[in-house]
Structure 1
Amino acid sequence: MASTGRGLQGTPFRFEGPVSPELLIDRQAELAALARRAGDRVGVRLAAPRRFGKTSLLVAHAAQLRETGWRTAHVDLGRVSDLTDVARRLASAYGALDVSWLRAHLGGLLARLGLSIGPTGASITFGPRPILPDAEAAELVLHRLLDLPVMLHEREGTPTLVVFDEFQDLLVAREDLDGLLRSRIQYHGDAAAYVYAGSEPSMMRELFDRRERPLFGQADPLALGPLPPDAVVTDLSERFAGEGLDPGEALGELAAFAGGHPQRVMLLSYLLAEQLEAGRPGTPETAERVIDAAVERAQPAHEALWSQLRRSEKVVLAGVADGLPPSSPALAQEHQLGRNTLHEAAERLIDQGHLTRGKTGVRVIDPLLREWLRRR
């Protein structure tokens, strides 16, 4: 699936934001699973750490379905704070389904939420949020919009894929919104397929694994793991060749360092391309220069994270970066902390998406964070 993508993005090593489907590395198995579930109208919950290619995968999934006649809507719920935020995000995404319907049926309500339909009728325009929240208008918009896929299916026979991204933030806006959502979509049948994507495992479990929650058992889990190393090296080698660059041994070194982290391997490749274009060879020494530059680039974010952690979480995160089990006796003794305290800190860091537990034990997900911790 390698492509230089020069005409589309200017670089084949895009590391900011979702990538276009032709720049997606591997993920054929995940795309096939998503396509099967959509065809069977089975909901999917997709959990992955932030910057792990979740949105890029879903963009590719939507593109494949559009080629077969589906409509698609991508609702970004990241950092919503209240019902008005949710309604505004939903209206913006659903506007792509049938903006004329929105103009005819919801124009007045949307105006109460600070939204307007563009003069050409092609898009929803965000204005300032209302000074005072209008919960009544927001809830009416949600109820009517959520049933739009059914209306379109009845009118045209066209199914709709709806992706709710950063779905766990729905509970931040209002505790019962998953119930409101289910009260509408449970009757959609063949009209729509739904994907619920999130980056905070604990909140996604809260939504789908607790019997008390309305969406309990309503979506098949799909995990998004690291990229296969062979696929990474093969794909990126083709991209470097397309740029007339020889990455040499440096590419393998950087791919191993990244450990299959999608965003980080692209950032490292981008920085390697800069080194090669400056005339440096693709050697392990150049790979070290690239890692140095990447760690420095990410340092402000890592410092911000560090400042927000509790002492026990700092101890666990630094210990795991150094290869120690999170609740090891040595770590507990060195820092005068109980092993149970360290275990609880590790569980919080896993829930927050900073650590992951695999066959070889617990590890830091972000390789640049791990390296920064080792160098402290």
Structure 2
Amino acid sequence: MSSSCIEEVSVRDDNWFRIANELLNRAGVAINGTAPSDIQVKHPDFFKRVLQEGSLGLGESYMDGWWDCERLDLFFTQVLRAGLERQLPRHFKDTLRIAAARILNLQSKKRAWIVGKEHYDLGNDLFSRMLDPLMQYSCAYWKDADTLEEAQEAKLRLICEKLQLAPGMRVLDIGCGWGGLAWFMAKHYGVSVVGVTISAEQQKMAQARCEGLDVTILLQDYRDLRDQFDRIVSVGMFEHVGPKNYDTYFDVVDRNLKPEGLFLLHTIGSKITDNNVDPWINKYIFPNGCLPSVRQIANASEAHFVMEDWHNFGADYDTTLMAWYSRFLAAWPEIADNYSERFKRMFIYYLNACAGAFRARDIQLWQVVFSRGVENGLRVAR
């Protein structure tokens, strides 16, 4: 790295710069370089802050305007493929957070409502512009789709076909979001749907969306459910359940599913078994979230169900997130007065960091179908 680059950011301690430069070189990222994935450093304490604080320092310093990058998605893809996140020192606060996740139940009934208030209640003005018309805030299915709308509808149809929905069935949607899936199932498959959410904003919009259909939207914790359903589906909610509650979650599904029923779980997942909590995502995007692993899902479900099918299309989440990012930027002038510039940088960082993580195959997206044992097996749609 040339001395002029060092002088540009007035580096106060050459050691912090040297260590950061060495790490970034392993990922093919230059400091103040010209490639789209290179970072442009604007504050002299950037290197020290990131090396001392890890993921939290990297994200917060971006929100504070300490650095920029033309293509954050490429930056994160390269950094994660090189495994740099495992080479950063773990900040003491991160260590405490991970220890707390192992000891405490961060997704207890009382704490479960936090993510609803802090993320999903941000404002329908944002999500209605960023997402597709049915407001699917989960991975789309791009196998035969060219647009976000087509890909999200393909995902909804895929779920319905995997569940083998038929008119007259009762379906439970755990974590129903803004009601898009509930509407789709009731409208196109003639089923009766009960949706559950912990977001008041989502409940209001879901109720309005599903007016006139056989759909009920409840504002309550999933653990309070006691009913009987032919089918149960849960999309993008298991990430908020937490390892301390995986057994309880499958107990609840088992308790509410009829003997011949099917259950479909759609969740982001981690390729390793750990308390997979990114400190920046935990603080700013999804409080108390945690990504499950294959082992954790298998251990929690094996006492209850036969795992009929496991489908990974995590690479499609990269395409989904970049579509959301494009729509977010296009919509920003319309909603800018409702949010701060720091919020804008936070959301840009969030969407691009996640896209890079899926592109690097660092995290996955699974649809898992469970039964209590279908005679002659289950032929699952693709």
Greater strand proportion: 2
Larger Rg, first or second structure (1 or 2): 1
Q: Which structure has the highest helix share of the two?
A: 1
Alignment TM-score, normalising by the size of structure 1: 0.34
TM-score by length of 2: 0.34
